[in-house]
Amino acid sequence: MKMLQFENPSIQGELKVPGDKSISHRSIMFGAISEGVTRVTGFLKGDDCLSTIDCFRKMGINITEKDDEILIEGKGFHGLKEPEEVLYTGNSGTTTRLLLGILAGRPFHSVVTGDESIAKRPMNRVTEPLKQMGASIDGRDNGNLTPLSVRGGKLKSFHYKLPVASAQLKSALILAGLQSEEETIITEPEKTRDHTEKMIRHFGGNIAREGNQIKVSGNQPFKAKDVHVPGDISSAAFFLTAAAITSGSSLVLKDVGLNETRTGILDVLKQMEADFSVNLTNDEEEPQGEIMISTSRLKGCEIAGELIPRLIDEIPIIALLATQATGQTVIKDAEELKVKETNRIDAVVEELKKLGADIHATEDGMIINGPVKLNGGQADSRGDHRIGMMLAVASLITDDAVHIKNHECISVSYPAFFEDLSHVTK
């Protein structure tokens, strides 16, 4: 159990958060299915991304880890070999679901499994459409739960309308479609993070988008290309919140990814009238820049609709932010939170209530009234890295210490989180 207590803290200085988790996963995957050596800088060496590396090594891809870069000796889709061992994805839903899309088109057998959390997370939203494309997938609960047995092969053309706005589901089907004989068409209800589409173009492939419809042709060759991974805005969100809610704070976050499908947190800060600014420093495929933020007088707002897919991972820390905003904040259309590492709607509400927050769960989100002075006490991350980091940030404004159970899970996405928090807390 981790105990955190601060006396009148402020957040000061500059910080570079670790590399974007979504891009890090995809850099390994696309490096592996491309021909030649891909060099990745800024890679997030968190547990989730290391699970992705391990899975591709088991399929015959040579991946070298150095202090400041990852080298991937890609062999193309056809160079992937049948793994002799089970592909263990740890706590990573991204690894699990996207890997299923790749395995669906490979003519060999494999078994995919993860930790206790992954074993509870539904996979049929991915496995069912992949089976319709022609893959053979089986597992617990009729292929809904890991371990999953996959025998891939020849995939047929496919037109699929996503039932939910999910970047993981979309990406899994795109990766399968890249191995199909014909065109795959995917329609999503709302635009979700588009790192997979950008990565396809970066490695020399083609993918088209018309409105919410995505078209991808199969049998595309990819060539190795260097990848720089910008800082993860999902990780930056914890420090943006820390600076906004603590007195006398002024923080600069460097080299943060500013992909428009991921910047919903900045829209929320604007709605809440936070004191922040953004300086775009690189406007390439994955734009990045600096974010400057100071102590802010926040106002409650409504967060819903098309904004939700652009900040789905930030909702735990946004809930904490809302406890310090004047008025009511309503978060809705966020049913997707129920199938994350935990049921994040219930978990966030219950854990913040322990600290004294005026917060209530709804069927598709939560309602938060503020501002509220939080107390300390015992709280539990429930093995969810984003809830663990949210509780740590909450300790900056509590009267007494916060004792965080299962804090170790934070290493999934941010191994140096506590060191960085200490570095900027004055």
Residues catalogued as catalytic? 313
Torsion of CA 202, 204, 210, 211, to 10 degrees: -20
Any known ligand binding at 255? Answer: no
**Annotated binding residue at 310?**
no
57 annotated to a ligand binding site = no
Could you say which DSSP state residue 155 is in?
P
- What pairing do the DSSP bridges indicate for beta strands 227-228 and 35-41? parallel
Q: What's phi and psi for 235, nearest 5 deg?
A: -75, -40
The annotation status of 27 as a binding-site residue, yes or no, is no
Give the integer Cα–Cα distance in Å for 387 and 393: 10
Q: Is 121 marked within a binding site?
A: yes
Whether 22 has a binding-site annotation, put simply, is yes
Does the annotation flag 262 for ligand binding? no
**Alpha-carbon span 410 to 195, nearest angstrom:** 23
Torsion of CA 255, 260, 263, 269, to 10 degrees: 110
Question: Any binding-site annotation on 332?
Answer: no
Please provide the DSSP assignment of 9-64 as one string: --BEEEEEPPBPHHHHHHHHHHHHTSEEEEEEES---SHHHHHHHHHHHHTT-EEE
**What would you measure as the largest C-alpha separation in the chain, in angstroms?**
62
249 annotated ligand binder: no
Identify the CA nearest to 300 among candidates 231, 368, 388, 385: 368
* 157 strand-pairing partners: none
- Binding site residue list: 21-22, 26, 93, 121, 166, 168, 313, 340, 344, 386
- Binding site residue list for phosphoenolpyruvate: 21, 93, 121, 168, 344, 386
- Binding site residue list for 3-phosphoshikimate: 21-22, 26, 166, 168, 313, 340
